[in-house]
């Protein structure tokens, strides 16, 4: 995809931002959003600011700051500057006072519902009409000192109560909250709203271009531009794009939270989720996200990303560096009637020879996958891949057959099957789509057990391998049996 050409973008002068609110774990929507901004900065050789929008003390938690830093650096995105919006409280207060002095803001003590009614009717409230500048300054100082309690007063912009854009109808600039802030403690009583904080932080960090999803809306853009204007700040260029949905996965933080709390999923890092932790643990590679952005583009219509796209990109990254092993699902025992002890070395990758080889010993028993059961007919000749041919002699029962070695010449057009001779138990968790037709898919987590080759037990936790004709998996845990998670086919 070609990134859009930005208005007023000069190479080397562009500044973009990653503006997370540290109130939750990062999820794919934010990750893609970071990538978009990163890519824009790359295109124009610009600067990237990580700005924590932490001005709502009720929502933020200290642990979440690090989560975002981690996700960004994991994706190999650059950060040139990091700021905390909550470190600039005095600036918001100063700017607010400036606004009051210019008659652009007033302290309002209306009840919430009452004001909302006025807003619907397009009428100004008495506080706007009656309070003189001097009085407003007075009132605001009292607010800062903590002389009002929560809900008793707010500072509002003197906007336009009749504007079509309801965001412009005397919006709140600062409000009271006595909730202790995760970083700033209980030092402050009044906190800026996003629309007030944002333009100021943009100015402080020199942001020139804002890329954000449409949930912030054109109305906000207009409001923020108006606030900038009253503050004598040149507003940045705004650019908006639609939200990203992943088909079959919830992408809204609120929904994910509910699923976690209700126990529908096993936590924020459940493989069926599209949170940073889940994706990372599942085995999706950090480079995938920027690539997704380049492939799906930046548009204003809702973008439904299919898992198959993610898998395709990921597969191409991990394919050349994943060791290959054999794994058999629902194992079927093959007893060889004419066994020959064999020790052999098999390449760990068909063309990447750097990955080396694994040693395998074969004696009188082989295990084949239950999914190949239909091939197990008497007198059928099958190729044991990289080994020799066998001929099925007799079925003992559903799980056991007798066979004999039938030469090692590679015969044309016979099935080539993966096999296991020195079995180790493996349990694989396979995630499917959490939602099917908008309903929770109860069977979205499948547990598959089977036998893997012995050398799989030498793998390190976290290693990604290809189990031939099964899929890519990642080593998760090793104790009595090896636990892996299925990444994709």
Partner RNA sequence: GCCUCGAUGGUGUAGCUCGGCCAAUCAUUGCGGACUCUCACUCCGCAGACCCGGGUUCAAAUCCCGGUCGAGGCACCA
Nearer to RNA, 18 or 268 (CB): 18
447, burial (CB in 10 Å: exposed 0-12, middle 13-18, buried 19+)? exposed
Distance of CA 108 to the CA centre of its chain: 40
The smaller minimum CB distance to RNA, of residues 251 and 444, is found at 251
Q: Which of 62, 141, 340, 408 binds RNA (CB under 7 A)?
A: 408
**CB of residue 392 vs RNA: minimum separation in angstroms?**
17
Q: How far apart are CA 41 and CA 79, in angstroms?
A: 10
Nearest-angstrom CA–CA distance, 75 and 200: 28
- Indicate which single residue of 150, 234, 396, 440 sits in contact with RNA (rule: CB under 7 A): 150
DSSP notation for 250-305: ---HHHHHHHHHTTSSSSTT-TTS-BHHHHHHHT--TTHHHHHHHHH---SS-EEE
Among 230, 383, 430, 483, which residue interacts with RNA (rule: CB under 7 A)?
A: 383
| Candidates 36-44, 181-189, 214-222, 479-487; binding stretch for RNA (CB under 7 A) | 214-222
Residue 205 engages RNA in binding (rule: CB under 7 A): no
Interface residues for RNA in 163-202 (CB under 7 A)? 164-167, 171-172, 175-177, 191-194, 197
- CA dihedral (205, 211, 216, 218) in degrees, to 10, reads 100
Least distance in Å: CB of 252 to RNA? 8
Cα–Cα–Cα angle for 228, 229, 235, nearest 5°?
50
Window 352-381: contact mask with RNA (x via CB under 7 A): -------------------xx---------
- CB of residue 266 to RNA, shortest distance in Å: 26
- The 325-354 contact track toward RNA, x by CB under 7 A, reads -------------------------x----
Ranges within 444-483 binding RNA (CB under 7 A): 466, 468-469
CA pair distance 68, 19, nearest whole angstrom: 10
Q: Rounded distance, CA 178 to CA 176, Å? A: 7
Residues 78-97 that bind RNA (CB under 7 A): none
Q: By C-beta, is 51 or 272 nearer to RNA?
A: 51
- Is 123 a residue that touches RNA (CB under 7 A)? no
Residue with tokens 């004001």: 115
Least separation in angstroms between CB 461 and RNA: 22
Which 254-283 residues touch RNA, going by CB under 7 A? none
Min separation Cβ 328 and RNA, Å: 11
Piece of 27-35, 261-269, 305-313, 390-398 that binds RNA (CB under 7 A): 305-313
Q: Centre a 10 Å sphere on the Cβ of residue 405 and count the other Cβ atoms it contains.
A: 19
- With CB under 7 A as the contact rule, the residue among 324, 358, 430, 474 that binds RNA is 324
Site for RNA in 16-75 (CB under 7 A): 19, 21, 53, 55-56, 59
Q: Which is nearer to RNA, 231 or 382 (CB)?
A: 382
* Span interacting with RNA, options 37-45, 130-138, 213-221, 473-481, rule CB under 7 A: 213-221
Would you say 241 or 401 has its CB closer to RNA?
A: 241
Residues in the interface with RNA (CB under 7 A) total: 77
218 binds RNA (CB under 7 A): yes
Q: Cβ 194 to RNA, closest distance in Å?
A: 3
Q: Are strands 332-336 and 471-478 parallel, antiparallel or unpaired?
A: unpaired
d(CA 117, CA 111): 10
Residues 6 or more apart whose Cβ sits within 8 Å of residue 34: 18, 71, 72, 75, 77
CA distance 61 to 68: 12
Kind plus residue range of the DSSP H or E element containing 199: helix 194-205
Of residues 309 and 481, the one with the C-beta less far from RNA: 309
CA 62 to chain centre: 19
Interface stretch with RNA, choices 72-80, 107-115, 269-277, 328-336 (CB under 7 A): 107-115
Hey, what are 104's tokens? 């652009």
SS3 241: strand
């Amino acid at each position: 995809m070609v990134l859009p050409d930005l208005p007023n973008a000069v190479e080397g002068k562009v500044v973009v931002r990653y503006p997370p609110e540290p109130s939750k774990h990062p999820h794919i929507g934010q990750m893609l959003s970071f990538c978009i901004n990163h890519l824009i900065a790359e295109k124009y050789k610009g600067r990237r600011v990580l700005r924590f929008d932490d001005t709502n003390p009720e929502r933020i938690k200290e642990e979440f700051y690090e989560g975002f830093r981690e996700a960004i650096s994991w994706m190999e995105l650059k950060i040139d500057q990091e700021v905390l919006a909550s470190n600039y409280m005095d600036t918001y207060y100063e700017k607010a006072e400036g606004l009051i002095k210019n008659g652009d803001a007033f302290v309002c003590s209306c009840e919430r519902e009452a004001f909302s009614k006025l807003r619907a009717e397009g009428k100004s409230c008495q506080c706007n009409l009656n309070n003189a500048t001097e009085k407003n300054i007075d009132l605001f100082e009292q607010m800062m000192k903590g002389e009002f309690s929560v809900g008793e007063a707010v500072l509002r912009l003197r906007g336009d109560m009749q504007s079509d854009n309801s965001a412009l109808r005397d919006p709140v600039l600062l409000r009271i909250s006595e909730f202790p802030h995760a970083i700033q403690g209980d030092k402050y009583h009044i906190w800026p709203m996003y629309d007030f904080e944002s333009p100021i932080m943009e100015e402080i960090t020199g942001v020139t271009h804002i890329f954000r999803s449409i949930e912030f809306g054109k109305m906000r853009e207009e409001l923020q531009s108006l606030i900038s204007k009253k503050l004598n700040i040149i507003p940045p260029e705004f650019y908006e794009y639609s939200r990203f949905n992943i088909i079959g996965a919830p992408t809204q933080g609120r929904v994910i939270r509910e699923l976690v709390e209700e126990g529908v999923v096993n936590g924020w890092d459940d493989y069926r989720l599209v949170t940073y932790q889940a994706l990372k643990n599942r085995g999706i590679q950090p480079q995938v996200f920027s690539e997704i952005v380049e492939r799906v583009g930046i548009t204003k219509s809702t973008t439904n990303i299919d898992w198959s796209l993610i898998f395709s990109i990921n597969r191409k990254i991990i394919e050349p560096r994943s060791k290959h092993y054999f794994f058999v699902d629902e194992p079927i025992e093959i007893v060889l009637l004419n066994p020959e002890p064999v020790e052999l070395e098999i390449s760990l990758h068909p063309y990447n020879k750097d990955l080396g080889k694994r040693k395998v010993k074969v004696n009188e028993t082989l295990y084949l996958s239950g999914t190949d059961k239909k091939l197990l007919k008497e007198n059928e000749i099958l190729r044991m891949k990289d080994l020799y041919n066998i001929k099925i002699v007799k079925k003992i029962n559903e799980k056991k057959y007798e066979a004999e070695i039938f030469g090692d010449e590679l015969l044309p057009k016979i099935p080539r099957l993966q096999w296991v001779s020195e079995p180790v138990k493996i349990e694989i968790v396979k995630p499917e789509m959490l939602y099917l037709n908008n309903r929770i898919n109860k069977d979205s987590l499948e547990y598959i057990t089977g036998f893997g080759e012995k050398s799989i037990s030498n793998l390190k936790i976290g290693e990604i391998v290809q189990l031939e004709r099964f899929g890519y998996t990642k080593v998760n845990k090793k104790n009595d049996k090896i636990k892996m998670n299925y990444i994709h086919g």
